[in-house]
Amino acid sequence: MDYMIGMDLGTTSTKAVLYDMDCNVLGYANKLYPLYQDQPDMAEEDPEEIFDAVVDALTEVLRKADLKNGKLQGVSFSSAMHSLIGLDADHKPTTRVITWADNRAEKYANEYKKNGKGFEIYSRTGTPTHPMSPLYKLIWLRNEHKDVFDNSKYWVGIKEYIFYRLFGVLKEEISIASATSLFNIFKLDWDEGALKEAGITRDQLPELVEPTEQVTGMHDEYAKVIGIPTDTPFIMGASDGTLSNLGVNAIEPGVVAVTIGTSGAVRTVVEKPVIDPKGRVFCYALTKDKWVIGGPVNNGGIVFRWVRDQLFAPEKITASMMNVDSYDMLTQIAGEVPAGSDGLIFHPYLGGERAPIWDANARGSFFGLTRNHTRAHMVRAALEGIVYNLYNVMLALEEVAGSPKEIMATGGFARSELWRQMLADVFESPVTIPTAFESGALAAVTLAKQSLGLIDDLSVIKDYIGETNTYQPNEANYAAYRELVPIFIRLSRQLQTEYANIAEFQRKFSANSVK
């Protein structure tokens, strides 16, 4: 039997999924690592910890393969976007991994938003003006950490660093590059204007390649540890955002993918680059002839974790003692409250927000609290707030790409019956949930099979996904949401005038307590 492996480089863990050649799952490994938040707005990771996680996950998952009677045909990658690592002349890190969630470049992104330069860059690069972008991280480093900036000869993301450590080459595929604000999506090349703003040259960036690019010649020391031949093809793969669409077969125009993991997103595929005149949605490459437009949100499942840890600590302990999933316990509690949480609205902006408001200073809030509301109302309102915000992104996407003809959904939330139904009710649309395991890794492997000449077209992924479940909107529920969603949207606009003020207060007076 021959095998394929899909790797998913995420914000808090790296996953490796072992497949047979028909894309049936044979094994799985997941390696966690910390997110360092030592000061306000920081969100960093250690590149060595992530590299070790990749090696460990590959090593573990390959124990489930019989390579004496089969062959590992290839390994392909899905990766989080917007990360930035500085490397010195010897390719040693000068920074940790500055992740998409790091907001320390907020001042510079906001300046570019106000002076109009940000939209000019967005109109060429497809990356909205926000501190998540490596461009603004570079401007921040150049202005506030000049020693680090000057000592960095190269700038890469986490996937490029992993490939350099394994193979000694600096390559970056266009899917990840198109999420940097440094890549011209119309010319498929680094954007000279953006490079000038960042204060770097193209010689400091990796060679641009296609997502289907194969890399071989792994360093012997790592090949021996992992247990594979050095000539095993590693396929560059693509960004987790674009592969999320492929992973649920949402690659035809008009089919929308909604993802809620730690963060979340609403995306659809188009056949050429599209720019939003209001700058609300991104446009990133999946391949050179398929582009994904949509909006990412910072606050998905991470909000649910905050609710569990801060509001339901006793239930978390009880769940552990009973050997049941604490999130299942919370969704059961939330399910006892009617749709709309009896008028309690939660804005889930616990880590700033990207789409659709693109405001790193955004903060969370409950609105409508009365003495009649309970913790059960609060947990349901939090779950609803995440979905309201995603629906707000959908409204922006509809203006750019038209109304969706089908909605596919995936992510950790898909395990929750309550959340699935909530999504259908708020969106007032049938929502289809594939049962496929780890859609990002599956999409990466499908891309690899195309690279290896094993398939002709990415649309064959529909044969790998397997069964799906479709949830129909409940009229009694969406009647309540029809009234609450407009209030949610109006409130977010009104509160936005004060987000900067409260964020500045928190930075000034709560520096030691921000985690």
Residues 347-387: pLDDT tens digits?
Answer: 999 989 999 999 999 999 999 999 999 999 999 999 999 99
Q: How confident is the model at residue 513 (pLDDT cuts 50, 70, 90)?
A: very low
Top-level class of domain 301-399+480-507:
alpha beta
Query: What is the structure's pLDDT at 410?
Result: 87
Q: Are 138 and 127 in contact (CB under 8 A)?
A: no
What's the rounded mean pLDDT across residues 400-424?
91
Map tokens 């005038």 to a residue: 497
What would the pLDDT profile of 194-208 be if each residue is shown by its tens digit? 999 999 999 999 999
Cα atoms in the 13 Å half-sphere on the side-chain side of 43:
20
Query: What is the structure's pLDDT at 151?
Result: 98
Query: What is the structure's pLDDT at 511?
Result: 57
Alpha-carbon distance 431 to 181, whole Å? 32
331/263: higher pLDDT: 331
| DSSP-derived secondary structure letter, 181 | T
pTM higher than the cut 0.85: yes
Query: What is the structure's pLDDT at 437?
Result: 61
Three-state SS for 359? strand
User: In this structure, are strands 207-209 and 214-215 parallel, antiparallel, or unpaired?
Assistant: unpaired
Cα distances from 39 to residues 3, 159, 330, 492, in angstroms, run 43, 25, 30, 26
Q: Are 16 and 60 in contact (CB under 8 A)?
A: yes
User: In this structure, are strands 290-297 and 282-287 parallel, antiparallel, or unpaired?
Assistant: antiparallel
Q: How confident is the model at residue 150 (pLDDT cuts 50, 70, 90)?
A: very high
DSSP states of 463-492 as a string?
A: HHH--EEEEPPPHHHHHHHHHHHHHHHHHH
Express as a percent the part of the chain with pLDDT over 70.
Answer: 99
What's the rounded mean pLDDT across residues 435-449?
89
Cα atoms in the 13 Å half-sphere on the side-chain side of 293:
26
What would the pLDDT profile of 84-103 be if each residue is shown by its tens digit? 999 999 999 999 999 999 99
**In this model, does residue 252 exceed pLDDT 70?**
yes
Query: What is the structure's pLDDT at 439?
Result: 85
**In this model, does residue 512 exceed pLDDT 90?**
no
Express as a percent the part of the chain with pLDDT over 90.
Answer: 91
For 86-125, letters b (16+ CB in 10 Å) and e give bbeeeeebbbbbbbbbbbbbbebbbebbeeeebbebbebb
> Of 278, 79, 302, 247, nearest to 179 (Cα)?
79
Q: Are 130 and 136 in contact (CB under 8 A)?
A: yes
The CATH T-level fold of domain 2-232 is Nucleotidyltransferase; domain 5 (3.30.420)
For 404-431, letters b (16+ CB in 10 Å) and e give bebbbbbbbbbebebbbbbbbbbbbbeb
Alpha-carbon distance 143 to 128, whole Å? 21
Q: Which amino acid is at 343?
A: G
Q: Please state the three-class secondary structure of 108-145 as a single string.
A: HHHHHHHHCHHHHHHHHHCCCCCCCCHHHHHHHHHHHC
What's the rounded mean pLDDT across residues 171-198?
98
Q: Are 258 and 390 in contact (CB under 8 A)?
A: yes
Average pLDDT of the chain? 95
Q: How confident is the model at residue 435 (pLDDT cuts 50, 70, 90)?
A: confident
What residue spans define the domains of the chain? 2-232, 301-399+480-507
User: In this structure, are strands 72-79 and 234-239 parallel, antiparallel, or unpaired?
Assistant: parallel
What would the pLDDT profile of 39-89 be if each residue is shown by its tens digit? 889 999 999 999 999 999 999 999 999 999 999 999 999 999 999 999 999
Alpha-carbon distance 35 to 263, whole Å? 14
Query: What is the structure's pLDDT at 515?
Result: 41
